[in-house]
Chains A and B, each alone.
Chain A
């Protein structure tokens, strides 16, 4: 079945450490997105990519970085510069046009 796979499901970060969240899709979608979800705040866009080797900052990009070397993959790195990284992170992808975004099942990041 086609879908979006996020790993790991749970991740713990130590102070000063960078961590990378994986997002892989086999839907042949062009665009991919990373969101951060905090209780009561809805989803906030971190980064997005419309095509391979190109990506743009979203509303809350500070302290995060991404790459898009392959169409299927859009990993997110949470750097030590992100002072409040504890959240639920969601990856999504979308075919161009009026199609809806499809979401993975998320990675929950916590601070040790």
Chain B
């Protein structure tokens, strides 16, 4: 079965330190990969995506993600965390076969907590 794993339910970092939120996937072919952020009682906001090309993708709010095909991972990173980055982060994968209908498979989310 196709799946997306976010192995950490919560990640705690100090403000100013680098942060990493992990994502691995089990999807055949060459899927599209996405990161979204969700603030309390709000919808998901798109951060960045990888379709093809450079393995390091830059997105909104200083976030970036590194695609690793051999490890089937797409970890989200930021060099210097802000308190305002505290939120719920979702990794999502879109299989690339025709029958996928463009639907996304979501991880269960990782809560990021940045302390001052």
Interface residues on A, range: 20 to 34
Contact A41 B108 (CB under 8 A): yes
Query: Are B102 and A103 touching (Cβ within 8 A)?
Result: no
Given contacts A56-B101, A101-B104, contact A90 B43 (CB under 8 A): yes
Return the CB mask of B72-87 against A: 1 if under 8 Å, else 0.
0000000000000000
A65 to chain B, nearest CB (A): 19
Residues of A within 8 A of B (CB): 4, 6, 31, 33, 40-43, 45, 48, 50, 56, 58, 88, 90, 92, 94, 96, 98, 100-106, 108
Known: A100-B46, A105-B42, A106-B42. A42 touches B109 (CB 8 A): yes
Contacts of B34 in A (CB 8 A): 100
**B38, chain A: closest CB distance, angstroms:** 8
Q: Which of B45, B51, B102, B103 contacts A96 (CB 8 A)?
A: B102
Chain B interface, >50% SS class: loop
**A40 CB contacts on chain B under 8 angstroms:** 9, 108-109
Give the dominant DSSP class at A's interface. Answer: strand
Number of chain B residues whose Cβ lies closer than 8 Å to a Cβ of chain A: 21
Do B102 and A31 touch (CB < 8 A)? yes
- What residues of A have a CB within 8 angstroms of the CB of B45 in the complex? 103
* Pick from A41, A42, A98, A103: contact of B43, CB under 8 Å: A103
Q: Smallest CB-CB separation from B51: which chain A residue? A: A98
Interface residues of B in 43-92 (CB under 8 A from A): 43-46, 49, 51, 90
Whether B101 pairs with A48 at a CB distance below 8 angstroms is yes
Task: Kindly report which residue of chain B lies nearest to residue A58, judged by CB atoms.
Answer: B103
A43 touches B106 (CB 8 A): yes
